[in-house]
């Protein structure tokens, strides 16, 4: 047995906790999870069913932790997991699963399959079976602070551009602010308008906020690849920055993965509760709306629909807030079929978008989103995740659909009431 395989199998053993054992024990092999997975429904490939992706982990569980499994192993009646098998399974675990959790929603016995995929990735990464692109992104996150290699000077340049446009300064490293804003690399480089939009909204609503120059990146590549030590290190950077600036809350930006990572996974990864609250930007905007501090004027006349990012809605519970906000600025808002907590994933989460090898598959899986859009024929799609926005744009282009993809936060900023909204549509 190779050293890397031994490390991987040991990692598998360590990841088989009480929930994983209970889930494997209770699985009734009904196949409902398959019909909930867009990678299966759009390919009809039985190897892409969610439970099949977990087969190596299931075999380790059975052979190591069940009576009959240990008995069969002792008499040579079962095959041990091999390095060759892990090589084959790598593409299943990383290319065809976004850990969106839709399969978990339909499981009749309540098995959290996305949780098990997360556990399996820990073993795969330890065995040296992870996509090179995701390995590179994780290394950059550790050494540079950003999976895309975005350094502080790049952020500072975008802030300067925003300040020139806005005519007022954006707070950086302000001690004692109420909120510390995180940003994903994609918001800094692909959608820098998000920074301006946030600044306009917060000035309009008189929000006390800041950005940390030491920990501004929201993305946690350690979770995506499946290395908890790295994931914890990246969380600790944010915790340290929040403590240094003495903020009351940390804002997760328009990034589904970031919200899951910092709010739900973070305290468990570092083994202690935070000294601050974590709030998604949509939760904060909804709070401001309820308090009467978010005022808009005029409405978008295009027919708009909303794409629920999986980690924000299904796994995070932020479902009604975006709809309340959209109704402030949308004259014609229409829901897609199977939306909210049962919305279909865009196909790019869980590190899939960072994995160039998976491009053809994720674009094929986008056909499921196309079916949703074809049912309602919107003029534009609104979402609250930069990763979703990029993949939605890619998918729409792939299928020849001329439809803009908008940020909900940026759309709200466009319709702010009052003079704070430099460059708005009022």
Residue 120 lies in a domain: yes
366 and 311 within one domain = yes
**Which CATH number does the domain housing residue 365 bear?**
3.40.50
Q: Which of 112, 130, 148 is the C-terminal boundary of a domain?
A: 130
Helices (H), 100-247: 102-106, 113-126, 132-143, 152-166, 185-189, 193-205, 221-225, 228-245
Helices 281-290 & 320-329 angle (0-180, nearest 10): 60
Residue 22 lies in a domain: yes
Domain count, the chain: 3
The pLDDT value given to residue 303: 97
Q: Which of 372, 311, 338, 343 is nearest to 98 (CA)?
A: 311
Indicate the pTM of the whole model: 0.93
Q: Which domain holds residue 408?
A: 296-414
146 and 275 within one domain = yes
**Which CATH number does the domain housing residue 171 bear?**
3.40.50.1860
306 and 277 within one domain = no
313 and 272 within one domain = no
As a whole number of angstroms, the distance between CA 316 and CA 30 comes to 27
**52 in helix, strand or coil?**
helix
Q: Which of 268, 289, 310 is the C-terminal boundary of a domain?
A: 289
Q: Which of 238, 272, 289 is the C-terminal boundary of a domain?
A: 289
Residue 236 lies in a domain: yes
Q: Tell me the per-residue pLDDT of 299-338, one tens digit each, with 9 for 90 and over.
A: 999 999 999 999 999 989 999 999 999 999 999 999 999 9
The answer to whether the CB of 124 falls within 8 A of the CB of 131 is no
**Which CATH number does the domain housing residue 40 bear?**
1.10.1060
406 and 317 within one domain = yes
Look at phi and psi of residue 145 and say left if phi exceeds 0, alpha if psi is from -120 to 50, else beta. Answer: left
379 and 355 within one domain = yes
332 and 408 within one domain = yes
In the sheet that holds 249-252, the strands lie side by side as 209-211, 179-181, 249-252, 277-280
Residue 397 lies in a domain: yes
* pLDDT less than 70: residues of the chain: 1, 419-426
In the sheet that holds 330-333, the strands lie side by side as 330-333, 300-306, 380-383, 405-407
Residue 135 lies in a domain: no
**122 in helix, strand or coil?**
helix
* 2, burial (CB in 10 Å: exposed 0-12, middle 13-18, buried 19+): exposed
Residue 424 lies in a domain: no
The pLDDT value given to residue 425: 45
The pLDDT value given to residue 78: 85
201 and 88 within one domain = no
- Cβ-count burial 219-254 (b if 16+ within 10 Å, e if not): bbbbbbbbbbebbbbbbebbbebbeebebebbbbbb
The pLDDT value given to residue 1: 60
196 and 316 within one domain = no
CB atoms within 10 A of CB 409: 26
285 and 150 within one domain = yes
275 and 145 within one domain = yes
- Residue bearing tokens 């990572």: 261
285 and 172 within one domain = yes
The answer to whether the CB of 341 falls within 8 A of the CB of 322 is no
CB atoms within 10 A of CB 66: 15
């Amino acid at each position: 047995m190779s050293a890397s395989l031994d490390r991987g199998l040991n990692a598998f053993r360590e990841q088989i906790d009480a929930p994983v054992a209970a889930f494997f024990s209770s699985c009734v092999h009904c196949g409902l999870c398959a019909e909930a997975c867009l990678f299966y429904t759009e390919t009809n490939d039985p190897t892409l069913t969610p439970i099949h992706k977990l087969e190596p982990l299931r075999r380790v569980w059975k052979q190591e932790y069940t009576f009959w499994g240990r008995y069969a192993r002792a008499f040579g009646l079962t095959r041990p997991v091999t390095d060759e098998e892990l090589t084959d399974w790598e593409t299943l675990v990383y290319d065809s699963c976004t850990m969106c959790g839709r399969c978990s929603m339909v499981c009749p016995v309540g098995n959290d399959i996305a949780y098990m995929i997360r556990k399996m990735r820990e073993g795969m990464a330890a065995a040296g079976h992870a996509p090179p692109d995701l390995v590179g992104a994780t290394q950059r996150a550790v050494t540079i602070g950003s999976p895309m290699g975005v350094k502080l000077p790049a952020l500072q340049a975008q802030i300067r551009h925003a300040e020139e446009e806005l005519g007022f300064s954006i707070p950086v490293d302000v001690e004692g602010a109420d909120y510390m804003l995180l940003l994903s690399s994609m918001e800094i480089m692909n959608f820098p308008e998000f920074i301006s939009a946030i600044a306009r909204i917060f000035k309009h609503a008189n929000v006390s906020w800041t950005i940390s120059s030491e920990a501004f990146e929201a993305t946690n590549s350690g979770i995506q690849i499946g290395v908890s030590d790295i994931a914890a290190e990246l969380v600790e950077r944010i915790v340290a920055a929040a403590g240094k600036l003495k903020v009351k809350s940390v804002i997760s930006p328009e990034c589904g993965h970031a919200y899951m990572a910092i709010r739900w996974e973070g305290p468990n990864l570092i083994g202690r509760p935070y000294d601050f609250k974590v709030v998604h930007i949509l939760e904060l905007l909804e709070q401001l709306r309820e308090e009467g501090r978010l005022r808009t004027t005029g409405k978008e006349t295009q027919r708009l629909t909303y794409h629920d990012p999986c980690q924000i809605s299904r796994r995070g519970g932020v479902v009604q807030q975006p709809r309340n906000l959209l109704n402030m600025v949308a004259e014609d808002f229409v829901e897609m079929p199977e939306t909210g907590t049962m919305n279909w994933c865009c196909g790019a989460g869980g590190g899939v978008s960072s994995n160039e090898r998976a491009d053809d598959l994720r674009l094929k899986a986008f056909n499921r989103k196309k079916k949703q859009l074809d049912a309602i024929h919107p003029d534009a799609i609104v979402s609250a995740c930069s990763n979703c926005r990029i993949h939605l744009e890619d998918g729409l282009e792939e299928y020849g659909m001329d439809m803009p993809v908008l940020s909900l936060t940026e759309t709200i900023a466009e319709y702010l009431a009052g003079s704070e909204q430099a460059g708005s549509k009022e």
